[in-house]
């Protein structure tokens, strides 16, 4: 999460291409994005469940840039080691063409994520098809063209990647499991008071009171989307378990693969 905040700022501040610095639309968009991220971190530190879970998902690669980086590293094809491997790679069909198959590790993750059933409970979009549905004929009753079949495979592939949850590196997974099992020490964050802000008592009689009369007392409007919680170890353990349920494990992948084999055998 530190890199998510700091590196974005540094990339923008040290960008040698300074044309956007004088663009008011660009500056307005950057300020709006920074304000949204600041509000997200503030509400997460106050103990609101949804913002805190979003921060944890960003930190553990369940969404955002880190998830895309983990997927990219996972789907890098293996380099051929000898001449025969190079020939086999050349003979394989091009990406999304007829005869092309997605990476096996991607299919294993799709099966495990589909059979786990946890994503629906944690507002993760479920993956319905494990393969693109390609019709044999178009709307005019003619055979589907090769380019159309390739576009269908491409659309299915990138849609599946958007909903795919990659595994965590071993070091981060051990830390997450240790936090849940209390083997990794953790202490709640200390609340810090803002510097340079003085709370002055409001006068009992002011111009607004004299012109508009007494104002309405505080309501529960700010608690519509949740209430703040005191961040304790017990509270964080529940949040860590929710994140841990979104991390694929090897045992779950093996069980999903065995279920698919049993279905095909029947």
| Rounded CA separation 156/1 (Å) | 30
Give me the chain's average pLDDT, please. Answer: 80
| Residues in contact with 231: Cβ distance below 8 Å, sequence separation at least 6, in sequence order | 45, 47, 52, 188, 189
- pLDDT of 256 reads 46
- pLDDT of 200 reads 67
Q: Where does residue 11 rank: exposed (0-12), middle (13-18), buried (19+ CB within 10 A)?
A: exposed
Asked if the model's pLDDT at residue 10 lies above 70, the reply is no
Asked if the model's pLDDT at residue 131 lies above 50, the reply is yes
Annotated domain spans of the chain: 96-135+142-187+230-265
- pLDDT of 56 reads 93
- pLDDT of 18 reads 59
Length of the chain: 266
The arithmetic mean of pLDDT across residues 182-195, rounded, is: 82
Asked if the model's pLDDT at residue 78 lies above 80, the reply is no
| Rounded CA separation 168/75 (Å) | 14
The arithmetic mean of pLDDT across residues 206-232, rounded, is: 79
| Rounded CA separation 135/131 (Å) | 12
Q: Residues 104, 110: contact at Cβ < 8 Å?
A: no
Asked if the model's pLDDT at residue 197 lies above 70, the reply is no
pLDDT in tens, 221-246: 777 778 888 999 999 999 999 999 88
- pLDDT of 52 reads 93
The helix (H) or strand (E) run that includes residue 113 is helix 104-116
pLDDT in tens, 16-72: 665 666 677 877 887 888 888 888 988 999 899 999 999 999 999 998 889 999 999
Proportion of the chain above pLDDT 90, given as a percent: 23
| Rounded CA separation 145/166 (Å) | 33
- pLDDT of 235 reads 93
Radius of gyration of the chain measured on its C-alpha atoms = 26
- pLDDT of 209 reads 72
| Rounded CA separation 44/51 (Å) | 5
Name the pLDDT band for 122 (thresholds 50, 70, 90).
low
Asked if the model's pLDDT at residue 115 lies above 90, the reply is no
The arithmetic mean of pLDDT across residues 154-183, rounded, is: 91
- pLDDT of 110 reads 87
Higher pLDDT, 88 or 240: 240
């Amino acid at each position: 999460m530190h890199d998510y905040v700091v590196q974005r700022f540094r990339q923008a501040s040290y960008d040698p291409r300074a044309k956007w610095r004088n663009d008011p639309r660009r500056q307005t968009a950057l300020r709006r994005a920074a304000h949204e991220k600041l509000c997200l971190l503030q509400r997460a530190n106050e103990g609101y469940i949804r913002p805190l879970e979003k921060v944890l998902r960003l930190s553990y690669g369940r969404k955002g840039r880190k998830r895309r980086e983990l997927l990219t590293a996972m789907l890098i094809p293996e380099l051929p080691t000898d001449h025969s491997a190079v020939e086999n790679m050349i003979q394989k069909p091009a990406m999304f063409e007829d005869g092309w198959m997605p990476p096996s590790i991607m299919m294993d993750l799709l099966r495990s994520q589909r059979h786990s059933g946890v994503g629906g409970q944690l507002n993760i979009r479920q993956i319905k098809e494990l393969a693109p549905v390609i019709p044999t004929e178009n709307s005019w009753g003619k055979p589907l063209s090769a380019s159309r079949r390739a576009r269908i495979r491409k659309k299915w592939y990138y849609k599946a990647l958007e909903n795919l949850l990659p595994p965590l590196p071993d070091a981060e997974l051990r830390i997450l499991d240790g936090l849940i099992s209390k083997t990794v020490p953790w202490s709640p964050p200390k609340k810090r008071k803002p510097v340079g802000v003085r709370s002055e008592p409001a006068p009992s009689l002011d111009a607004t009171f004299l012109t508009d009369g007494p104002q309405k007392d505080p309501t529960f409007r700010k608690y519509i989307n949740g209430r703040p919680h005191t961040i304790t170890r017990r509270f964080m353990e529940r949040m860590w378990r929710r994140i841990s349920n979104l991390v694929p494990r090897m045992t779950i992948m093996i069980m999903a693969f065995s279920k698919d084999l049993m279905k095909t055998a029947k």
